[in-house]
Amino acid sequence: MSEPTVFIVDDDQAVARSLRWLIESVRLKVETFPSAQAFLDGYDATNSGCLVLDVRMPGMSGLDLQERLAAQRIHVPIIFITGHGDVQMAVRAIQAGAFDFVEKPFNDQDLLDRIQKAIARDADQRGKDAQRAQLRALFVSLTPREREVLDLVVEGMSNKAIANSLGLSAKTVEVHRAKVMDKMHARSISDLVKMAMQNHMA
C-alpha cells in the first residue's frame, strides 16, 4: 500500500503552508489544496490518509465538500478545523460523519494525534475493503453448480443429502466440494462458512 498522505484544504495559503510545515515534522506526507474544488479535481481516492479541512471557506465550504465526498462514496476520514465559536458547524460536521474536529487555536500535539488516529482508521478501513473485494472475486470464480453445492454445505447438509437434493451422485458432490474448497482457499468447512457469511453481509 502507498504511503499515507495528509490532505490539507485551506483557502488561507499561509495557514495551509504552516500546517504542512507542522505535519511534515512528524514525517508524514502532505498535500495542500487552496479550495474544496481543487481537492475534488486533484484527489485520487486510492491514496490512503486523511483530510484536514477548514470549515469556513469561500465558494464550496468544508461542509459542502464533505457532502460531495459522501455522495461519491469516498470515505476518507475528515478532521475539520473550526474557527472560534463555530460549534454549530462542528456539530453538523460530526453528525454528517466527520472523523473529528479541532478548534482554532489548537494544540499541535492534539492535531497530530488526531491525524495519526484518522490515518490508522483509514488504513484499517482500506484493509477490510480489500479483503471484502478479494472474497467477492473468489465467489465470482465459482461455477453455478459449485455455488449451489456451497450454499447447501453452508446450510450444514451432508454430501448425501446434497446429492439427493441436487439429483447428483455422492461422488460428483464430493468433487464439486473439493473444487470449492480449493478455489476459495478454505482450509476447513468452518472457514468456508465464515467466508460465505462475510460475503453475504458485504
Partner 1 sequence: MHNGWSDAREMISGSDLMWLAFVVLGGTLAGTIIGLAVAMARLREAEQKLFDKESNHESVLDRLKENEYRLRTIIESEPECVKLQAEDGTVLEINPAGLRLVDANQPADIIGRKIYSIVAPEYVDIYRENMRRVFLGEAVVYEFRAITLKNRIAWMETHAAPLRDARGKIYALLGITRDMTEHKQAEEQARRHQTELARVARLSTMGEMATGIAHELNQPLSAIANFARGCIRRLRSGGLRSEELLEPLEEVCYEAERAGEILRHVRDFVRKSELQLKPVDVNQIVRAVVKFTELEARQHRTIVRLHLGNDLPKVLVDSIMIEQVICNLVRNAVEAMAEANSPQREVTIRTRMFGIDEVEIEIGDSGPGIDGSVIDQVFDQFFTTKPEGVGMGLSISRSIVESHGGRVRAESGSSGGTILRFTLKISGQQTSRHERADSLHS
Q: Does 12 bind partner 1 (CB under 8 A)?
A: yes
Q: Are 137 and 183 in contact (CB under 8 A)?
A: no
In the complex, least distance from residue 72 CB atom to partner 1, rounded to whole angstroms: 29
Considering only 2, 18, 158, 198, the residue that binds partner 1 (CB under 8 A) is 18
Number of residues that bind partner 1 (CB under 8 A): 19
Q: Residue 83, interface with partner 1 (CB under 8 A)?
A: yes
Does residue 103 contact residue 82 with C-beta atoms inside 8 Å? yes
Of 16-24, 28-36, 71-79, 177-185, the segment contacting partner 1 by CB under 8 A is: 16-24
3-state secondary structure of 50: strand
Q: Specify the residue, 76 or 102, whose C-beta has the smaller distance to partner 1.
A: 102
Alpha helices in the chain (DSSP H): 13-24, 36-42, 62-71, 87-95, 108-140, 144-154, 159-166, 170-183, 189-201
Q: What string marks each residue from 106 to 135 as x (binds partner 1 by CB under 8 A) or -?
A: x-x---------------------------
Helices (H), 25-107: 36-42, 62-71, 87-95
- Which residues, numbered 41-80, are part of the site for partner 1 (CB under 8 A)? 56
The answer to whether the CB of 115 falls within 8 A of the CB of 28 is yes
The 8-class DSSP code of residue 156 comes to: T
Can residue 25 be called a binding residue for partner 1 (CB under 8 A)?
yes
Look up residue 2 and give its DSSP letter.
P
Q: Which lies closer to partner 1 via its Cβ, residue 56 or residue 147?
A: 56
For partner 1, the closer of residues 16 and 192 by Cβ is 16
Asked if residues 90 and 101 have their Cβ atoms less than 8 Å apart, the reply is yes
164 binds partner 1 (CB under 8 A): no
- Chain residues binding partner 1 by CB under 8 A are 12, 14-15, 17-19, 21-22, 24-26, 56, 83-85, 104-106, 108
